[in-house]
């Protein structure tokens, strides 16, 4: 295998920080971030965001390299949970995108399209706990996408849950809520 065929796989986790925010391109004072390793358990972070008919975007605000490519199979998973009542998860969509730091233009690169799951998540009112479910995804990214030093990646998670559905993104290395593995050509 030639060196131009070699890929480097980088794993990212989605978290939502309370006391740290990033600004890049059209992301201003943004709290939902992609990290390569979980932060200290002592950091103030939110565990979940309301997912009902919502889009959540997780930005990786750092350089990876001046010019690099995403090419190969993107894998990962998201976690949805019932909160305050039983709920239905009809479908979800995960998209890997880029944002330009100068223009703020957001561009979708690769997507799962809408994945229909029609899952019921129960809620136990006596214990105040809801069912949670991990939904895997695979994205064919064999059309090479180029990123420059003026661009950053972000992952967009869209859900079409009924009421009482949250997207987990806790800062906890023992339970990976939102995970994305990107194939990079450096």
pLDDT (tens digit, 9 = 90+) per residue, 137-157?
Answer: 999 999 999 999 999 999 999
pTM (whole model) above 0.85: yes
**Which CATH number is 6-185 given?**
2.60.120
In sequence order, the β-bridge partners of residue 35 are 13
Nearest to 121 by CA among 134, 131, 106: 131
Tell me whether residue 12 is exposed, middle or buried, using C-beta atoms within 10 angstroms of its C-beta: 0 to 12, 13 to 18, 19 or more: buried
Residue in the block written with tokens 């194939």: 183
- Which residues have a Cβ under 8 Å from the Cβ of 185 and sit 6 or more positions away? 4, 6, 7, 8, 68, 69, 70, 71, 144
pLDDT (tens digit, 9 = 90+) per residue, 153-177?
Answer: 999 999 988 788 999 999 999 999 9
Band (pLDDT 50/70/90 cuts) for residue 3 is low
**Helix (H/G/I), strand (E/B), else coil: 160:** coil
pLDDT of residue 51: 75
Q: Does residue 95 or residue 52 have the better pLDDT?
A: 95
Mean pLDDT confidence for 122-128:
94
In sequence order, the β-bridge partners of residue 104 are none
**Helix (H/G/I), strand (E/B), else coil: 4:** helix
Helical residues (DSSP H) of 15-173, grouped into ranges: none
């Amino acid at each position: 295998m030639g060196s131009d065929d070699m890929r480097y796989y980088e794993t990212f986790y989605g978290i939502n920080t309370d006391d740290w925010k990033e600004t890049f391109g059209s992301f201003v004072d943004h709290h939902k971030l992609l990290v390569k390793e979980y932060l200290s358990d002592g950091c103030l972070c939110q565990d979940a965001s309301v997912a009902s008919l919502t889009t959540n975007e997780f930005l990786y605000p750092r350089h990876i390299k001046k010019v690099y490519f995403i090419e190969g199979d993107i894998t990962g998973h998201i976690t949805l949970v019932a909160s305050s009542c039983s709920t239905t998860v009809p479908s979800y969509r995960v998209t890997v995108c880029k944002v330009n730091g100068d223009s703020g233009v957001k561009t979708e690169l690769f997507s799962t399209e809408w994945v229909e799951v029609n899952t019921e998540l129960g809620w136990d009112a006596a214990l105040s706990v809801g069912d949670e479910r991990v939904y895997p995804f695979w994205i064919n990214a064999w059309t090479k996408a180029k990123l420059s030093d003026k661009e950053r990646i972000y992952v967009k998670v869209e859900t079409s849950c009924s009421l009482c559905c949250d997207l987990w993104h806790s800062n906890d290395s023992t339970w990976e809520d939102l995970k994305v593995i990107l194939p990079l050509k450096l």
